[in-house]
Structure 1
Amino acid sequence: MNDCLFFGYNSQPKLIKNEEEIITKPIQFKFENENENENENEKQIKQISSSWISTIFLFKNGKAIEYLNKNDSKQNPKKIQIEENIQKVTVGCWNEAILTKEGNVFAKGEFINSKNPKEFINISSLIEDTNDRIIQDIFSGVYSIYLLTSNQNAYGIGSNQFGQLNFDYETLQKTEKPILMMKNVSKIFSGNSSNHIFLLNSNQELFGCGWNKLGQLGLGKSRKQEWQIQKSTKIQNIPKGKIIDIKCGTDNSIMLIENQNENENPKRKLYSCGYFRYNGLGKNKHTYEFTEIKSSLFENDDNILDFSVGHSHTLILTSNSKLIAFGDNSHGQLGTGDTKIN
């Protein structure tokens, strides 16, 4: 099995039984119950998705296991009983979703299936348009799940408390059946601790909706009093370049832009908007539009390969194999060996 390191809050769920509640330095993760998960240690991890409700490990052989917030006293992992080959998993604060090779999506959660929130159901089969039931990608928010179909249409299911399903809350408070949010969508961007969402259309125009209390949609100061954007709104003044990814935290958003110049190699830069708690990478105030993240931690020859955004902290992987962390560290989630704010 490829190496898997763990650090941070080790309680909900408790992933490593004999360790403290807070793990401040990276330690190697091992699956505890080899009898229940026969040959699990020989499998290669393809993806890990985690929130406080659970953590799901997806392996390259298409199988997955989950550690639940409240499981048995031994906190043993549980095999996910999906017969189809699993391609992707996503875990929000109040939901889980699984995308299979066949394009089906199985999900569970309080806002997905109120009658039986602990059981996976096939939510893609609930899409009214039968020609739109093959799902290409899935994403989790706090209370919602988003689906991108093979026809490039975006659907949402779950809570619409902040307008994150692109509907007026008075018209739609929640739905346990996927509803069409937008057509001609090439990418969906969300976060498992966020109640806002971005949609990139086929013309590379970016739209956002949902919770905007601290400017996390990047709509500018003129829109800062609009806490809930209940209809998808075009994001203006986006930095030039190709949008590679956007990760949404609770109160902020971080965008990865690739600047393409014919005379130079493509350069990737990070831009952020919203509120950065704990002086995140030199920013200690609201930013209502996407602005570049600058830091002495980035060297001139660094390029951003990937990044991850949590509730109030961020991890960045550079081309020089550096892992840069900033933000809230109260549960050791930066892996710096302490719980000091960085």
Structure 2
Amino acid sequence: MNEIIFFGENEEPILIKNEPDTITKPIQFKFENENENENEKQIKQISSGNNSTIFLFKNGKAIEYLNENPSKIQIENIQKVIVGQENEAILTIEGNVFAKGEDINPNNTNEFINISSLIEDTNDRIIQDIVSGWCSIYLLTSNQNVYGIGLNDWSQLGFDSKILKETKKPILMMKNVSKIFSGNSSRHVFLLNSNQELFGCGDNQYSQVGLGKSRKETKIQKLTKIQNIPKGKIIDIQCGMGHSIMLIENENENENPKRKLYSCGFYLSNGLGKDEDTYEFTEIKSSLFENDDNILDISCGDSHTLILTSKGKLIGFGDNEYNQLGTGDTERQLIPIQIELPKLRFNEDISNYHVSCGNYRSFLYYSNQN
């Protein structure tokens, strides 16, 4: 049985028929004809952008919401899906990536094409991971090389945007990379190399690349090492339009390692979790996730952030114009608040829950990867 909680924008696409354009408080999401093929519809992942949402199931199949009528994606053995502003991409178990969008295939924006096959180095075409940006897609190969494709208007591909405005073929950005971090609303990107050094580039007009107060450039045109990173293991970085959230695990605590949150960017309309601009990654403090509670998962939309804790608390902050914080109003929340949830069926197994933010919508869902 699926467990999906939804709130926020409910138009373009319409996700739940016969409901308002915005869902003001968290409600249960149900697929049409959910009782049919019940065994096939165990959720693995949800990815949502500005104009579409994709639900991936454990059987490797996916459905896409572009309008009122969801449609099956005609690709088998899907491992991961990502949705950006104007593009979508799919990673298969075999390591192929299929993508579509105006910045990928302008001649037919609704047709998925194999973009991994466009990598010039034929030994580098098996893809290990994919991450979406605003109008760009990042590919991490099995050889730990990162390629970017799509728009480069904010130098989010790591090149001078005056020289390389966009590319329809994957272009090598960096070698020896272990992880990529960006977001469906983000025009900046972070790459973590095999030595656990973090590099960033792209849109920095709100200091969301985290380079410090002295870096005034609105665009970081080449991959630049991020200094003063908090101590510990980087578990995740989630990026919005004007902010970045970093999840760090303290490696010195062998039993039940503690995780902490750090943010940088523009505070007023973005999900920073604090009430001041932050030019480099600094800790977000809140009694909601201190002491014996720990952070399981994080996600960022355009201008809001969601956090799920080990005690089953859903916490949010940031912009709330489309009720994407699920508080029942549209008031912006600068500091973390707890979001009231319907009773969950799998509270005893909270580690299998995940959060996923679209631009202006939010999901909490159960996904047992075993």
Q: If the TM-score is normalised by the length of the shorter chain, which range does it land in?
A: over 0.9
Report matched runs for 1:1-342 at 5 Å: 1-32=1-32, 39=37, 42-68=40-66, 71=67, 75-82=68-75, 84-223=76-215, 225-262=216-253, 265-278=256-269, 280=271, 283-342=274-333
Letter in 2 for 1:254: I
Shift of 1:124: 0.3
Instruction: Report the equivalent of 2:357.
Output: none
Q: CA separation in 2, counterparts of 1:138 and 1:240?
A: 26
Shift of 1:264: 5.8
**C-alpha contact (below 8 Å) 1:276/1:312 kept by paired residues:** no
Shift of 1:279: 7.9
**C-alpha contact (below 8 Å) 2:244/2:272 kept by paired residues:** no
What do you get for the CA RMSD once the two structures are aligned? 1.6
Structure of higher RCO (CA pairs closer than 8 Å, 6+ residues apart): 2
Could you list the per-position Cα deviations for residues 285-318 of structure 1 after superposition, in whole angstroms to 9, with x for gaps in the alignment? Answer: 2110100001232231111111111111111011
Q: CA separation in 1, counterparts of 2:273 and 2:303?
A: 14
Q: CA separation in 2, counterparts of 1:92 and 1:339?
A: 24
Q: CA separation in 1, counterparts of 2:82 and 2:169?
A: 18
After TM superposition, which residue ranges in structure 1, 4 or more long, deviate above 6 angstroms? none
**C-alpha contact (below 8 Å) 2:263/2:272 kept by paired residues:** no
Q: 1:280 to 1:249 in 2, by over 3 A?
A: closer
Q: 1:307 to 1:123 in 2, by over 3 A?
A: same
Shift of 1:276: 2.2
Q: CA separation in 2, counterparts of 1:284 and 1:114?
A: 41
Paired residue secondary structure (1:197): strand
Could you list the per-position Cα deviations for residues 30-83 of structure 1 after superposition, in whole angstroms to 9, with x for gaps in the alignment? Answer: 12256xx96267520100000121000000000000000xx3xxx11100011x
Count of aligned pairs between the two proteins: 333
Letter in 2 for 1:63: K
Paired residue secondary structure (1:290): strand
Q: 1:185 to 1:233 in 2, by over 3 A?
A: same
Q: CA separation in 2, counterparts of 1:12 and 1:182?
A: 35
Q: CA separation in 1, counterparts of 2:273 and 2:187?
A: 25
Could you list the per-position Cα deviations for residues 135-190 of structure 1 after superposition, in whole angstroms to 9, with x for gaps in the alignment? Answer: 00001001100000000000000001011111111221101110100000000000
Could you list the per-position Cα deviations for residues 61-109 of structure 1 after superposition, in whole angstroms to 9, with x for gaps in the alignment? Answer: 00000000xx3xxx11100011x30000000011000000000000001
Letter in 1 for 2:13: P
Paired residue secondary structure (2:214): helix
Paired residue secondary structure (1:114): coil
More displaced 10-residue stretch of structure 1: 230-239 or 39-48: 39-48
Identity %: 78
Shift of 1:341: 2.2
Instruction: Report the equivalent of 2:349.
Output: none
Q: TM-score normalised to the size of structure 2?
A: 0.87
Unpaired segments ≥5 residues, structure 2: 334-370
